[in-house]
């Protein structure tokens, strides 16, 4: 997993204090940080409820998610609130709905001896299918033409042409490449 260390969460007593710290960590002005956060939030909320698939995809792209061609993203899919630019969804993928794709872990500092604070990219490779209610955790790559079964929690990479299921997701089957109609 390719982790990028980030500072531990530091709660502030004021809105301005939080804006000041958060913008400084990203090396941008407070105004730029606020504009980025508001744009991200508005796009995410509209995409979450939009009944129009292409609008959902357009809004996630505006947030910074890298999305290929012929991708399906269902309703009520959450793609990381804070770091959407660390998510890549390649061509011909389907994320069915009620899914969560997370790319960061940002615990409070009192957990620093037991939990890392980091960002790690998630990549969903060509032709993958993420079934309803699945959760993809930071640093995971879902292999080409793989299936993540409904309700699974994916904590490690999924090999190409495979099916995983469970919490944590485990390999349940391999897919014969000849069974796949590739574009």
Residues annotated as part of the active site: 106
Bridge partner list, 73 = 95
Cβ contact 149:165 at 8 Å: yes
Place of tokens 């958060």: 22
In 26-162, alpha helices (H):
30-49, 53-63
Bridge partner list, 174 = 162
Cβ contact 56:50 at 8 Å: yes
Token pair for residue 165? 């299921």
Token pair for residue 130? 């993420």
């Amino acid at each position: 997993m390719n982790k990028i260390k980030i500072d531990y969460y530091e709660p502030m007593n004021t809105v301005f204090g939080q804006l000041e710290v958060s913008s400084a960590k990203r090396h941008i002005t407070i105004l730029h940080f606020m504009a980025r956060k508001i744009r991200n939030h508005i796009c995410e909320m509209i995409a979450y409820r939009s009944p129009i698939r292409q609008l959902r995809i357009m809004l996630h792209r505006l947030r910074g998610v890298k999305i290929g061609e012929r991708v399906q993203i269902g309703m009520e899919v959450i793609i990381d609130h804070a770091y959407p630019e660390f998510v890549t969804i390649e061509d011909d993928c389907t994320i069915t709905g009620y899914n969560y794709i997370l790319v960061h872990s940002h615990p409070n500092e009192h957990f620093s001896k037991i939990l890392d604070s980091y960002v790690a990219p998630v990549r969903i490779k060509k032709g993958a299918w993420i079934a309803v209610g699945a959760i993809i955790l930071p640093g995971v790559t879902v292999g080409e033409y793989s299936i993540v079964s409904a309700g699974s929690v994916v904590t490690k990479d999924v090999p190409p042409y495979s099916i995983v299921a469970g919490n944590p997701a485990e390999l349940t089957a391999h897919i014969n490449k000849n069974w796949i109609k590739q574009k």
